[in-house]
Structure 1
Amino acid sequence: MKRSDLVIFLGPSLPAPDVQRLARCIVLPPARQGDVWRALALRPRVIALVDGVFESVPSVWHHEILDALDAGVAVFGGASMGALRAAELSRHGMVGVGRIFEWYRDGVLQDDAEVALLHAGPELGFRPLTLPLVNVRRAAEVAVAEGALAPRQGALLVRAAQRLHYGVRTWRRVVAAARLAGSARARLDVLLARGAPDLKADDARATIAAAAAFVAAPAYAPPVRAVLRRPSSLVRRHKLTATVSRAGRRAVANGDVLAALAAAPGAAALAEEGLRRTLLAAFARSLGYEVTVADVEGAREAWRRALALTPAGFTRFLAESGLDGADSARLCEDLALERRLLTGAARVVPDGPSQDEGLALGARLAGTWAAESRRIARGRRRLS
């Protein structure tokens, strides 16, 4: 197992050193929009989403997780942002883990603020500075179960926490706001002094353990679908510049590559070729053409052979080209659709063109027809 097989997005839910004791992995900071896409360039087998940012910067997009799933990467989520996204995407294949995920999935919780907290920056290990509401809920459960609080008092504790903004919520302020009776307050203080329940940390450990167990299990071949999800043009454009290409061990921003290509001679010709082929596949799709898994794999293999690359070299080429598993699969699907359309060109439109007509047009546009005409003429002159 390589470290890159498992990529974990983690911040305040659990200290990073704890993770290294749980699994061999790459630990990345809390996910923001585009980070899951960028992580796909590492070619992981599993991604575990625990923490993510919100409010100050755009949050991790559902489309990124769907792309990871389309690429055959297993995605686990729990504890915080991971629990939210897993509850929203479990029907698409994301695996949710833990109590917080279950609360969101079952509709017990609906507000994103339940898992929100204020935390320190990366230089201090994203240490939590305030208290998430889910931890108060869990503490109230434990207090009621152990007889430290009556059910009504447990509910009072939760309501007091709800009235406090996550940016200022601490145990001291929650307990003060709850205004519990003296004996109940004393029993709660004993429970908290013993160690306040930390449901986010518990769920984070469970999520990482589940992801690590999946990686350690015998390798499996992810299901290959002949027809892949087609993201909108908005998502495609955003992904094009938000992701990276991997050249060796270095990550190169795709936006930089695109800018360099746009400024280079021949950019217009490359764009026209790309648009022509994209439109051809889209036209085939609009006519109801479909391809099989074998067609897609055949297109992939033909592309590899045309580049004269070994399978390992082709994998490196895809990474250098900024293509993750989902995008390369979609591209090969387009190539297969294009092949189906061209093979049946005579039947695509009324009185459609034959293969010979296609050959003639291509040769005339490229100048090959004229060159061949001259070659044949010279040969005939010699014979006469």
Structure 2
Amino acid sequence: MSGRLSSTTLWAKSAKKGHIDPLSGRELGDLTVLLYFAEKSSEECRKFTELLKSFHQETLRAKGFPVEVVFVSSDPNVETMLDHFVNVQGKWLTIKYDDVARRDLAKELGIQSLPSLVVIDKAGKQVVDSKECIQTVELVVQKKKNCDSTIKEWCKKATGWDLKEKPLDVVTSQEEFASRLLHQMNPNRVRKELDMSPEAEQKRLAALYKEQSDKLNPPARKPNPNASQSKPKTELRVESPEKILNDLGPRRQKREKLSPEEEQKRLAEFYAKQQEQIQQLSQGFKFSSPLYYKQYPTNQFDIVVNASNGLGIELGWTDKSDERVVISGFRELENGSWGPLESTGLVIIGDQIVRINDVPIAGLNMDQIGELIMKNRSRTKIRFQRKLGAAVGTKLS
């Protein structure tokens, strides 16, 4: 996000038709920003706005690019600007009319004509000029060209992120889901034994034998030249092999005396027992994959689920200074099953909700958020923001 915009006040179209809601420029997070300079009285601006609306919805939103358009009005007064933004512009953001950034950005970026569309970086400097941006929009919308690589290059120039597709870390079966939970509950046993091949197990045993041999035959201690001569010397007591093995416990003692054939049999029994545990766990957890999942390098991710029976989540607000909407808890649905978000294993308590069905929720109340969800319950799309430092998509690994 441009540092120039972080302190600005933005306006977003409200869920209530004809209304706008204010939000902080900080809500842009690490999104790549496309500044769109236009005015209502210009015929060229009106034509290009229609192209940009198609580009915004059918390319940027449909393909999940972390890009947001911010409209910078050149209209003569606030009334004209509001009518222009609400009734003509697309489903993006605008800078508040009396904000100093709206007045100064055109001069700072050297905007000479309208319409103009530029990409800015985190410092607020232009990294892609208007000619290239407008040509790209026209190629995509009018000539149906695929310009995904160009848009990814914009993002790289603006944020430093290289938008390469990341492998989805989504479990695909109840057994895999339970297996991951088993790893999480007892990592030492499972990772060292369940995932160990017979050959690796033999190597581990050889290393264990060596370790025990070193304990039974410790190297002689060298005398300390700085030790006081008057201090009585203590004799080194080396325990017998039998006593050391007894101290290790009967299970370890018995295990070390196993023959290779007996060891193979023990491993087979161990694997069978682990599989039985996994089957028992999988019956207790009601796992389901999301309809769609995409992860962005900005610690944001999109999830699409079927919310026909509800989402099974509890929402809360952060402190009053920023008032972000976050997941505060999960609850079972009326039919006793897990909610569709919880059952993916990809959403955790504390995740912030940024958008619902491609509409920014900043400034909305809970009733308005509920209305957004109700618009498309069979395919509800939610964009989450996770705190920096917390891994996205790897909760159960």
What TM-score bracket applies, with the shorter chain setting the length?
under 0.3
- Normalised to the residue count of structure 1, the TM-score between the two structures is 0.21
- Normalised to the residue count of structure 2, the TM-score between the two structures is 0.21
Higher helix share: 1
Structure with higher Rg: it is 2
